[in-house]
Structure 1
Amino acid sequence: MIIEYKKIELFGKIFIQKIDLKPPFEYTFPVSEQACFLYMLKGEMQYQFEGDQIHIPTNYSLLLNCINSGQQIRESNANNNNETVIVTFHPDILKKIYEKDLPLLFQPGRKVTNQSVGKINNDFLIQKYIEGLLFYFENPSLVNDEILILKLKEIILLLSQTREAETIQVILSQLFSPAVYTFKQIIEAHLFSQIGVEELAEKANLSVSSFKREFRKLYNDSPANYLKSKRLERAAELLLISDQRITDIAFDCGFNDLANFTRSFHDKYGVTPTNYRVKRSNKQ
């Protein structure tokens, strides 16, 4: 459950976030062209990927390339609240501020791999950097684009000087390498977007009929039924782990009509979204 959420934007995109969470919580990363630096300010979390997991304690951090993501974080201690700071790297913003002179950290190195996640050990300078970001969350009137550009360049410099610099370079350089998305990555990237089968087929560069055939081969279900089921499952999770309004949850999960969402939710779970949240809260 989200207790408090703050964000700072740069050039119209989310740059820094501070999220205070109370268990139970979990978050599945979508496939997208960005990388995220997650710093565990308080508490601890588990990052789960490909049948494995990484434990991230207080003052440790994780660098994640979301191009190859679709993975998940969740609490590792149900008794403690968690505070996380997230710094997001957007390729278009990086190109804008560095023009044609991208730092070495974003250029392919000698190590060739598709590694998309790396744990960064407790680093004193990064810890001090995060403390500096907290000041701007408390004093938002002092924030401007010039300061944020400096903070973006600063974290890139600090990451390049950590013991994990080689791994970090491998992960971040993928942001500027041609990405070939698989069929499944395209589906996972748009599970909760308000787009239909026709648009998904277009993104997969297939006709609608070919898209439906390929989809059934991989998922053993029709696109419409699978998408609705996954969106309802995600909505059910959000009803339990967040205090968002039901209208916002419906929208975030790909439904643009509240009445349709409520009807579909009732058909699947036997209760309205409101009653689902109340009954589960009472049981807990």
Structure 2
Amino acid sequence: MAIERRKIDLFGKQFIQKLVFDEDFQYDYPVSEQACFLYMLDGGIRFQFGEDSLDIPVHYSLMLNCLSGGKRIQNSETDAKAEVVIVTFHRDILQKIYEKELPELLQKPKNIVSNLSNERINSDFLIHKYIEGLLFYFENPTLVNEDILILKLKEIILLLSQTKDAGNIQVILSQLYSPTTYSFKQIIEANIFEPASIDELARKANLSVSSFKREFTKVYNDSPANYIRTKRLEKAADLLRISDKRISDIAFSCGFHDLANFTKSFHDKYETSPSNYRLEHK
């Protein structure tokens, strides 16, 4: 249970919280039109979504939206307290403070097919300093006013847009305004030729790697590694026959990370090098 809770509201809704909870803490997120940014001040939490879980250690953060059920946070250490700061993003409040145009982080990203609804963030220096600023207001609540809170909300949006995880954060936050859910096959077909690993594809499907592999085998009757490699090599063979692109460009456009790996995989399948294959089929 929470043994200490402080909160500050904005426009009558919960904006920031500081929670200290014991080893038995557990909270199920309700389905709602909001997203949350959780920063671990001390200890750690375990984020449970469906059958999968993600540990958030001290000084790391978790971004998630609450548009679907089955999300829970709990203490990840059975004999220790944990301390967390939570910033909540409400769709109507964001719409109110960005009357003219939503910032890019809240807009639906173009050409990205993903159901990602949570992301663990290795918070940088600026995020740490932002959290320190929030703690100051918890200790000095008389200094808090509506204008300051609006600035703090805009500040965290700006800071998150500048992190290395900004692309995934945009997918999560933009669903507050464009709640699109893609089928498993849509996600695979849209990303199969991107230079994405199995881990990255699983995250786009909002699944753990083990759950992703089970679903993939059920849908495609093949393992992810074999199916994806085969499809990428077949596309590469087509491009070698019909285009004059450099072999390295073909490799990268088909989702291979490096030319050496592509050449070996191509030879294993077609028993010849990409350059010889091109000559034989021109």
Query: If the length of structure 1 is used for normalisation, what is the TM-score?
Result: 0.62
The residue aligned with 2:152 is 151
Q: What is the one-letter code of the residue matched to 1:96?
A: K
* Alignment partner, residue 164 of structure 1: 165
Paired with 1:100 and 1:63, the residues of 2 have a C-alpha distance of 25
In structure 2, what is the equivalent of residue 202 of structure 1? Answer: none
Q: Any stretches of 5+ residues in structure 1 without a counterpart? A: 181-284
After superposition, residues 270-281 of structure 1 pair within 5 angstroms as none
- Does the Cα contact within 8 Å between 1:43 and 1:57 map onto a contact in 2? yes
Return the letter of the residue paired with 1:171: I
Contact 2:8 2:15 in 1 (8 A): yes
Determine the structure 2 residue equivalent to 1:61: 61
Question: What's the CA shift for 1:178?
Answer: 4.7
Find the aligned partners of 2:180 and 2:70 in 1 and give their Cα distance: 15
Partner of 1:7: 7
Classify 1:108/1:80 alpha carbon distance in 2 versus 1 (closer, same or farther; 3 Å). Answer: same
Deviation at 1:61, TM superposition (A): 0.5
Give the Cα–Cα distance (whole angstroms) in 2 for the partners of residues 69 and 114 of structure 1.
14
**Secondary structure of residue in 2 paired with 1:19:** strand
Alignment partners' CA distance in 2, 1:67 and 1:5: 24
SS in 1 for 2:8: strand
**Partner Cα separation in structure 2 for residue 38 and residue 178 of structure 1:** 21
Unaligned runs of 5+ in 2: 182-282
- Give the secondary-structure state (helix, strand or coil) at the position aligned to 1:136: helix
Which structure: larger Rg?
Answer: 2
1:30-179 equivalence runs, <5 A: 30-110=30-110, 111-178=112-179
Aligned AA (1:160):
S
Show the counterpart of 1:282. Answer: none
Matched residues in 2 for 1:3 and 1:104: separation? 38
In the TM superposition, what is the alpha-carbon distance from 1:100 to its structure 2 partner?
2.7
Equivalents in 2 of 1:123, 1:53: separation in Å? 23
Tell me the alpha carbon deviations over residues 133-180 of structure 1, each in whole angstroms, 9 at most, x when there is no partner: 000000000000000000000000000011110000000000011578
Q: What SS is found at the alignment partner of 1:176?
A: coil
> Could you tell me how far apart the structure 1 residues matched to 2:178 and 2:170 are?
12
CA shift in 2, pair 1:22/1:118, >3 Å: same
Q: Distance in 2 between matches of 1:34 and 1:69?
A: 12
Correspondence list, 1:124-273, <5 A: 124-178=125-179
Q: What is the Cα deviation at residue 68 of structure 1?
A: 2.0
CA distance in 1 between counterparts of 2:27 and 2:105 reads 27
User: Structure 1 runs of 4+ off > 6 angstroms?
Assistant: none
Identity %: 63
* Distance in 2 (alpha carbons) for counterparts of 1:127 and 1:89: 19
RMSD over aligned CA atoms reads 1.2
Say how many residue pairs are matched: 180
Give the aligned partner of residue 261 of structure 2. Answer: none
